[in-house]
Structure 1
Amino acid sequence: MTFDDEVDVAVIGGGACGLVAALRAARARDLVVAVYEKSVRDGCNTRFSSGSLAAGGTRHQRAAGVDDSPERHARDILAVSGDAASAPIVHALCRAAPRYVEWLADELGHPVELGRDMARSGQSVPRLHTDTGRAGGARLVRTLRDAVAAAPNIAFVDETPGAGLVAEDGRVTGVEVLENGVRRRVHARAVVLAADGFAANAAMMAEHCPDARGAFYGGVSTSTGDAIGWGLGLGAAVRNMGAFLGHGMVVPGHGTRLNPVLPFLGALLVGTDGRRFADEKAQGYSKLGRLIAARPGGRAVLIWDERMHEIAMHSELMRESAAAGAFSRHDTLADLAASLGLPPDALAGTLGGFRAVSTEDDPRGVDHGPLRFPLYAGRVTHGVLTTQGGLLVDETGRVLHRDGGTIGGLYAGGGSACGISGPSTEGYMSGNGLLAALGFGWIIGDRLAATLGPPPT
């Protein structure tokens, strides 16, 4: 079999998983690593995420007096997902998380801080780490790509999508890529599938995620599930293909998202009838999407006050919504009801009986009393951001064959691999997506540096 190029490690996908895998593998200076990216212009899901990194047991938590550990983090994830079979992988990823968070800060210069104001459902302690300016996933991707650009033994090849795997005697020996529309075959000692999932593939979504029908899609156009198909062609096992990351705070007509911390600050969620229909703090934003999807027209309204607004505006997601005019400010109940098309009498009764209880700083709840004008409000609907099912891997990221054993030379992470949120959208806990992406990138890259090259200096 002939090849056009040869590298030690070929990575398909230039998002968080692929970039971390490349950086960690390239610590073995004798290895040549190539990252093939479908399109920097179209972006990756990490770029459009909040950039929040869930990690337990970091020095940032210790400095803030937060008692946490990888084990506690894993228990929280498994309690929400209910997916006991994923426990070994969840524990492995949680052990990696504090290491790569501190690596980002200390070696790559990413401005990491603990998001004390980023309470999320299922998180028993504050453990979401963010950049100090809350610039979101775009800043995280920039940090990683700058590091890749500075590495002498990594080639980042843009506008060069993967086109398939090359295998001999059941072992993956390379990849096919499309460079300027021409198919090229690249020999590699190891291949890492780190592409996004399949949420932009209408046929795959209809087959595997029919519950997402009609939802706003807030992901990237490059999430077409190609890598999952290549793995299936080699007999790979898949798991939890019906799971996806939903979102209940997508603003219809704008495509932006409200800050998920608002319910934990005491915000009120009402239906188009002006009445409260759910405990705002009892569900993560993925489960909330399912609840809103069941409402008439798949619509609801979130209402918050000035105290909450000041905190929520720290997020780039919220700043984007503000710039888009995705929410409004109101000085009177009559103005609020008229602007949002809510029945004034029903809304008045709901507001009169509601008390803003914040669990952002104290999980036992702090009662702030009634919402006080001026109030802010935004219409929300349900959306899909990414899929959570994919190729089944072991704790080291090796792709598993459906008949048992592993497929030699093939690794997967990010949207190409099965996530850690269980079989349904309700099992997602904030931070799980980037935990699996960066975590598998870290684990796979370290393994390749150790097995393919000399010990890193």
Structure 2
Amino acid sequence: MTGFDYEVDVAVVGGGACGLMAALRAARDPGLVVAVYEKSTKEGCNTQFSSGSLAAGGTRFQREAGIDDSPERHAADILAVNRDPDSAPIVHALCRVAPRYVEWLADELGHPVEIGVDMARSGQSVPRLHTDTGRAGGGRLVATLRKAVESADNIAFVDNTPGVGLIAETAGGRVRVTGVEVLENGERRRVGAKAVVLAADGFGNNPTMLAEYCPQAVGAFYGGVSTSTGDAISWGIGLGAAVRNMGAYLGHGLVVPGHGTRLNPVLPFLGALLVGVDGRRFVDEKAQGYSKLGRIIAGQPTGRAVLIWDERMHEIAMNSELMRESAAAGAFARYGSAAELAAAFSLPEQALAETLAAFRAVSVVEDPSGFDHGPLEFPLLAAWVTHGILTTQGGLVVDTTGRVRHRDGGPIANLYAGGGSACGISGPSAEGYMSGNGLLSALGFGWIIGDHLAGGGLKAA
């Protein structure tokens, strides 16, 4: 290679879950030099602001809890929700590696993994969300991965060094990536690389791209990181890469307006009640994933609703960093009567009282007969909730090894993508997201790409 300021074997753009995983797995080949270019650890990545929940089917943690699951069952559940049969090869590839990296995180990196038997989610036929003990969230997961990167002799993690473009050449009508340009200490550097991995976040904080591809999300509360500007996706498009499902995003229907925190998504599955500004129930709370719920709440007259739950649900829900942050922010309060609750939220008192009387909370163990486990018991807790967008889900089209595909169907040589840079597995809209899909795509593609490069794929690229 010529015309570069310096060269590495693998250049990873983005130091979140996908980029860190890709670097760690590629660096298992001691002959490879890997560089990870992170835009800003101070601003953080979306994984850090997630619950850190790892969806995987067929782990030993599930077996020890008596849960019968498998990668095939996991994939079937995702495909039933995302309504995107064309994504099946990718979904199956990611689900196959998920139990492997969950156990690797625990066994090799010492991440404190447990199965969240109390973390019911829409569309998941069995409990399969794995979390850290103590439920500290995604920040703890990123810390585990970064610690491992720091201890690897052949990985350089370069902070405050955003990527600014790809370096490529065209020969015989085919595009070949030869490196990446980065901004180091305010100066552009040309880095030669045998493989470039795009592992940046999506475009949730790029108003222009959001308006073009996800107009439904414009104006919604944004709960992602400021660095999600879609740069890597734009570079790929500029080289002729195919994109897919660009209108898809991870929404959230349990964002507390005025506080910017989120309530625990388990609450609707424990029997929490949603009412509109008219004091009436308007949705089957348990039938919705929290992303789809966001679209439903957005359709309410004021774009908000009131979530109501009781103490028995609260005790379980507080086993979550999201809920603890909401508590610290004063995002919810307790009410001793229907009249007190109605007054606090300016709801019609009679309508709310009638709704509460008719509603029957659902226990943790679902009863197929419906809401028949007795009324919500005072004191009740309640909070305003609205809709938000956390991350986008569309992006560059990749194959089952993470190679970026050109619009003509062939691969763009030496270019890989995962995480927010690649097309996710949640289908064409916000309604196809299943809890855990984001980290499944990020960690899964990081694992697949890294293993591919360490296993000889770099020479074949």
TM-score, normalised to structure 1, is: 0.98
Q: Which residue of 2 aligns with 1:37?
A: 38
2:12 and 2:198 in contact (8 A); partners too: yes
Deviations 1:227-249 (A, max 9, x none): 00100111100000011111000
Q: Does 1:253 align with 2:258?
A: yes
Q: What corresponds to 1:85 in structure 2? A: 86
Q: Which amino acid aligns with 1:152?
A: D
1:5-59 deviation line (CA, Å, top 9, x unaligned): 1111000000000000000000001110000000000000000000000000000
Pairing 1:373–2:378 present: yes
Matched, 1:215 2:216: no
Q: Give the distance between the partners of 1:109 and 1:363, measured in 2 at CA.
A: 38
Q: Could you tell me which residue of structure 2 aligns to residue 441 of structure 1?
A: 446
Structure 1 residue 361: Cα displacement = 3.6
In the alignment, which residue of structure 2 is the partner of 1:293?
298
The answer for the alignment partner of 1:122 in structure 2 is 123
1:405 aligns with 410
Q: Which residue of 1 aligns with 2:285?
A: 280
Report what 1:105 is aligned to. Answer: 106
Distance 1:150 1:361 in 2: 44
* Match among 355, 360, 373 for residue 350 of structure 1: 355
Partners of 1:143 and 1:213 in 2: CA distance: 34
CA contact (8 A) 1:117 1:361 kept: no
Amino acid at match of 1:313: M
Corresponding residue SS for 2:72: helix
Q: Distance in 2 between matches of 1:238 and 1:78?
A: 20
**1:159 match:** 160
Aligned to 1:338: 343
**Distance in 2, Cα, partners of 1:46 & 1:366:** 35
CA distance, structure 1, for counterparts of residue 372 and residue 230 of structure 2:
46
**One-letter code of the match for 2:446?**
G
* Equivalences, count: 453
Identical positions, percent: 79
CA distance in 1, matches of 2:456, 2:383: 52
Shift of 1:334: 1.6
Please tell me the residue identity of whatever aligns with 1:433: G
Deviations 1:264-316 (A, max 9, x none): 00000000111000000011000000000000110100000000000000000
Q: Which amino acid aligns with 2:17?
A: A
Contact 1:31-1:453 within 8 A present in 2 as well = no
Q: Which AA in structure 2 matches 1:194?
A: A
Stretches of structure 2 lacking an aligned partner (at least 5 in a row): none
Give the equivalent residue in structure 2 for 1:95.
96
User: Is the deviation greater in 332-341 or in 142-151?
Assistant: 332-341
* Counterparts of 1:187 and 1:133, CA distance in 2: 42
In structure 2, give the amino acid aligned to 1:26: A
User: For the residues of structure 2 that align with 1:211 and 1:163, how far apart are their CA atoms?
Assistant: 29
Report if the CA contact (8 A) 1:12-1:195 is conserved.
yes
The answer to whether 1:262 aligns with 2:267 is yes
The reply to whether residue 63 of structure 1 matches residue 64 of structure 2 is yes
| 1:21 lines up with 2:26 in the alignment | no
2: CA distance between counterparts of 1:188 and 1:38? 18
Distance in structure 2 (CA, Å) of the matches to 1:281 and 1:442: 33
In the alignment, structure 1 segments of 5+ residues that lack a partner are: none
Q: Measure the CA separation in 1 of the matches of 2:12 and 2:367.
A: 42
Does the 8 A contact of 1:329 with 1:377 survive in 2?
Answer: yes
- Please name the residue that 1:2 is paired with: 3
SS in 1 for 2:136: coil
Alignment partner, residue 185 of structure 2: 180
Post-superposition offset of 1:363: 6.9
1: CA distance between counterparts of 2:365 and 2:375? 18
> Whole-Å Cα distance in 2 between the matches of residues 82 and 111 of structure 1?
34
How big is the shift at 1:333? 1.6
Q: 1:366 to 1:101 in 2, by over 3 A?
A: farther
